[in-house]
Amino acid sequence: MNTPAPHIPAAHTPAAALPFPPIPTLQARDGALWLEGLALADLAARFGTPTYVYSKAALEAAFASWREALAGRRALVCYAVKANSNLGILSVFARLGAGFDIVSGGELARVLAAGGEAGKVVFSGVGKTRAEMRQALQAGIRCFNVESAAELERLDAVAGELSTRAPVALRVNPDVDPKTHPYISTGLKGNKFGVAFADALSLYRRAAALPNLRVTGVACHIGSQLLDPAPMAEAARKVRGLVERLAADGIALGHVDLGGGLGIRYRDEAPPTVADYLAPLLEAFEGCPQELCFEPGRSLVGNAGLLLTRIEYLKPGETKNFAIVDAAMNDLARPALYDAWHEVVAVAPRATAAQRYEIVGPICESGDFLAHDRSLAVAEGDLLALLSAGAYGMTMSSNYNTRPRAAEVIVDGSSAHLVRARETVAELYAGEKALD
């Protein structure tokens, strides 16, 4: 399970001394920002803006922290593809031996295209279609995390049509408050996810009786950006009790999937380390023979990436000053969607007095903002970096206002790899047709 720690280049200014969250391979060198061995300004000159930039060393270090915390335990780390589904990112994790947590047939296709193993894929999500079920069964995935009684019946029928048996786990909803943003809470009674804990035993009996299903495990995921291990530890203890009741009922499970959700630092949060987060979960399953599965997403990629953007205009106002940049809410939706904070730093700050700015894009919506009231010493044409943007940045982007989506680049030491070319406007309407 142990993976050698990746080399993180030294810097003139240690990352810990920089006044922003810990992207471990971002350094200040001679008054400008570098990621690993490349200057952000050079990356912008080469690839344009807006561009998402990721650090391969940071991705590897984040994955290693999970492997190290699970050393000595039979466990599988399944990267949650929805956090960032770029093939370059997926290929890094596939080479490290990761499994993958998917929520669509499209994500399965991406995993396979990136070299991931179907036998290490778990398929979550409340709305799996018949076509997606067939696709996953034919690929030979590890397990379906079933989220309703109706899905259980449909999956049995689809597996029967293919003359196979579908491996299943029920995603149980433990009704535990994850103490996170309500939009990313998934484990309460009022959430759409999972099956009610009180119904789990009867549904497992039903699953065991269906001819085209093979019960293999149980799954539980209560939310994202978790900063306190206690709610997930409570959920884990409930799941442990369910596992024991199922065993007494003659239903033996091969694995327990405890989801993901570990948070990261965006601003002033103090998330636990991976080891501290996992400690009470591992304790809850001490002595259990089942393999443990985890589905981290944000904690693997969030602080491995940033969004590079250029200031188009500085617009002073009576009550607010605006820095209008070439990135927008279509590129990074989290601020508009969750009022989320991303640290904004000048790539090469000027030796002038800083001013307070609203960081906004060119989209025709008042909600098109990337940051409020930030202090920056900048001029028109300067580059800004929006940090902690590796998770739920590009995957949530859109083409609103007919804006091509950003390029994506992975930095590996002193090399830069374009892993997604910037879209063109012509590509956006290539599948459309004007009426005759």
Q: Which pair of tokens denotes residue 274?
A: 């991976």
Active site residue 364: yes
Residue 297 counted as an annotated binding residue:
yes
Distance CA 265, CA 302 (A): 9
Nearest to 53 by CA among 44, 63, 65: 44
Residues near 209 by beta carbon (within 8 Å), at least 6 away in sequence: none
Distance CA 339, CA 371 (A): 9
Residue 19 counted as an annotated binding residue:
no
Residues near 253 by beta carbon (within 8 Å), at least 6 away in sequence: 169, 215, 216, 217, 218, 243, 246, 247, 290
Whether the bond into 211 is cis, omega within 30 of 0: no
Q: Which pair of tokens denotes residue 212?
A: 């085209």
Residue 381 counted as an annotated binding residue:
no
| Residue 257 contacts residue 145 (beta carbons within 8 Å) | yes
Q: Which pair of tokens denotes residue 295?
A: 């589905």
Provide the b/e sequence for 310-341 (b: ≥16 CB within 10 Å).
bbeebeeeeeeeebbbbbbbbbbbbbbeeebb
Residue 365 counted as an annotated binding residue:
yes
Exactly one of 78, 143, 220, 364 is catalytic; name it: 364
Nearest to 156 by CA among 167, 145, 170, 141: 167
Residue 338 counted as an annotated binding residue:
yes
Residue 392 counted as an annotated binding residue:
yes
Residue 119 counted as an annotated binding residue:
no
Residue numbers belonging to the annotated binding site: 261, 295-298, 334, 338, 365, 392
- Residues annotated within the binding site for pyridoxal 5'-phosphate are 261, 295-298, 392
Catalytic residues, which ones? 364
Q: Which residues are annotated as a binding site for substrate?
A: 298, 334, 338, 365, 392
